[in-house]
Amino acid sequence: MTPSPTSPAPDHEPRPGRAPRWSRDRWLATADTLLRATAPYASPGQALLALPGPVSASGAWSDGLEGFARTFLLAAFRVRGQDGADPDGLLDRYAEGLRHGTDPTSPERWPRIDERRQAVVEAASIAVGLAETRPWLWDRLPDGVRERTIAWLAGVVGTSGYRNNWLWFQNVVEAFLASVGGPWDQADLDRNEELAEALYVGDGWYSDGRGRDGRRQTFDWYAGWAWHLYPVLHARIEGRGPAPRHAERLRAYLEQAQHLVGSGGAPVLQGRSVTYRFAVLAPFWAGALADATPLSPGATGVLTSAVAGHFLDRGAVDERGLLPVGWHGRYDRLRQLYSGGASPYWASKGFAGLLLPPDHPVWTAPDETPPAWRQEQVTMLRAPGWLVAGTPSDGIVRVLNHGSDRLLEPEAQAHGDDPFYRRVGYANVVSPQLSPQDLAAPSDSHVALLDGGGRPSHRDGIERVRADDRVAVSRSRVRWLDVPGSGPGGDHAGWAAVRRGPVVTTASVVRGPHEVRLAWWTPAVVPGPGAPAAGADLDADVAWPADPGPWAFQVGGWPLAADQDGELRTESGDGWVRVARSDGTTSVLRGLRGLDLAGAHRRAGADPFGAASVVPWLRGGGPAAAGHVVAALVVLTGDAGSVDLDAVGSVALAPDGSAVEVRWRDGAVDTVPR
């Protein structure tokens, strides 16, 4: 049965791309408002800023330093951009904090870098802030405060072990120390340079560290708000422009990153630390500062304004004027354990544009639509392995993930998927489901094998198979995670166990908002006794038991969330399911091959976009044999009337069985090798 079209409810939101462009004065006023709201949470000596929210794994003491450092970065951009004008006396506030924070006898002293590793991150913000405001702050500090500040920052000199974007924190701190006659070590910089080059993958993308077996497959917003911003800030400390290779890579990155922001200003929600929100703008401002961007000044102004407006219009700032942990409003499950109440103030990086003078073309040029917003398009970002489908008419950006996994866990450790990296799909209007139930048994934007008890498998490390303009293919060895109260209990008495499974190949074939998602499984190749295991495969040593099967496929669609459960309407029939929100946003699944059962999971509190959420799914009616191909049409749209459930004519094996042919109704054919 084919579902009949439904008419979306009237949409009272501004249409994508029509948000007013922010003036420079509005950026200044927003920065001032954010900073004023944090002032009541400062300690008496202004050195520690204890903002409301969860406490990080580094502890409340470290979180207080974080509050000082991250808000100081915003204050520094604001004051430097106004050539020292400081109507709220911000620099007096932070000068007092420096006096107490660097005094080892003060009850408000900051943790040293050898006491809290997180202090390395905050030291970088302090160094950048001091460099940007040097004539009005550093040069006017008493000698004793300057000496103590140098001594505190110098705790980073000679340290090592940085394996991701943290190397840039050491670089900028030592650059500032060198500029004020403090200690620094060329060996630190040489080591960091070598590591950075080893993590550069191409097309402007850095992998934020190496995962298991040395794989460089950690891709997220850190590529922009860390790897590309800090080379520009580092160069400013040294009074020069960025190195040519950094400028070239920044330009290449922005050519691609623009596709990850929808025409209404919503960025894709993927990867860790997304609570930093506005920080996604940092590389766009860095491109303007370094004259290393493919975007025109007018397009940069339009894009940055749209993102800032998107977050402010949707409650990113709470009733106290603070940025809580969350995406729009407060949602603590979105954080990582290293995040505390002050962590969201890395959003300060999203105000780096204030370093551009008032007469810069970003502020004065006419509005121009960013190229990624001008027409519907599908774009392959080869470095991260993402097939990106953007539809400016509804402001939605969809990312089909066939290359980013952030696989850090040892093979023998019981672990599930990282929901921020290993889902098949991410978008800018939906989120991974983050309840404990969904982390243990993922279904949203996911392809799984269901075991005998109906529990879905987890996706492990991603192996890339194919990536072109409309087709992406990857495979992964799947596993089942058993926790207390679920599954057969595994074979050890710890809190969790794993059952290993076969290899699942997943393919995405995309045309506009329509994706054909294919999947099949093949047996895992197990090395013989005494043979070296391939990669990190521990089957030869029987690290975890194998699940015996048989297995049925489940394909999970795009989840939708709303403030009230009644705003989400679900319809289903034989081989199809649709979830529609009252604003017209619609998620649809239709079985095309081997997926006959349809339904939806309803959740409460699992999604940062709303208190209620629904995940549609399709399942096979029985066990899937090895090599058997299943297929579904997967759609996410802001316009229910645009969904064409008959867009695909057929999905069939090629005569020789070597490929799957997807035939679209208009006659186009996409071939997916098996």
Mean local confidence (pLDDT), 568-578: 96
Using the predicted structure, report yes or no on whether residue 241 has a pLDDT greater than 70: yes
CA distance 285 to 239: 18
Q: What is the pLDDT of residue 528?
A: 59
Compute the Cα dihedral for 110, 115, 118, 122 and give only its sign.
positive
Q: What is the pLDDT of residue 5?
A: 31
CA distance 600 to 596: 14
* pLDDT tens profile 583-621: 999 999 999 999 999 999 999 999 999 999 999 999 999
* pLDDT tens profile 382-436: 999 999 999 999 999 999 999 999 999 888 888 889 999 999 999 999 999 999 9
- % the chain with pLDDT above 70: 93
Q: Which helix (H) or strand (E) holds 319?
A: none
Mean local confidence (pLDDT), 36-59: 98
Q: What is the pLDDT of residue 1?
A: 34
In angstroms, what CA-CA distances link 414 with 213, 406, 409, 460? 17, 16, 8, 11
Q: What is the pLDDT of residue 18?
A: 59
Indicate the domain borders of the chain.
24-373, 430-673
What's this model's pTM, rounded to 2 decimal places?
0.95
| Domain at 430-673: CATH code | 2.70.98
Q: What is the pLDDT of residue 541?
A: 60
CB under 8 Å to 200, separation ≥6 — which residues? 206, 249
As assigned by CATH, the class of the 24-373 domain is mainly alpha
* pLDDT tens profile 632-657: 999 999 988 878 889 999 999 999 99
CB under 8 Å to 105, separation ≥6 — which residues? none
Using the predicted structure, report yes or no on whether residue 43 has a pLDDT greater than 90: yes
Res. 8 pLDDT band, cuts 50 70 90: very low
Contact 506, 518 (CB under 8 A): yes
Compute the Cα dihedral for 474, 479, 481, 487 and give only its sign.
positive
Give the other-Cβ count within 10 Å of 193's Cβ: 12
Residue 619, burial from CB neighbour count under 10 angstroms (0-12, 13-18, 19+): buried
Contact 613, 601 (CB under 8 A): no
How confident is the prediction for the chain on average, in pLDDT? 93
Q: What is the pLDDT of residue 495?
A: 66
- % the chain with pLDDT above 90: 89
Q: What is the pLDDT of residue 543?
A: 72
Using the predicted structure, report yes or no on whether residue 208 has a pLDDT greater than 90: yes
Q: What is the pLDDT of residue 491?
A: 61
Q: What is the pLDDT of residue 671?
A: 96
Using the predicted structure, report yes or no on whether residue 505 has a pLDDT greater than 50: yes
Q: Provide the CB-side half-sphere exposure for 160 (13 A, CA).
A: 12
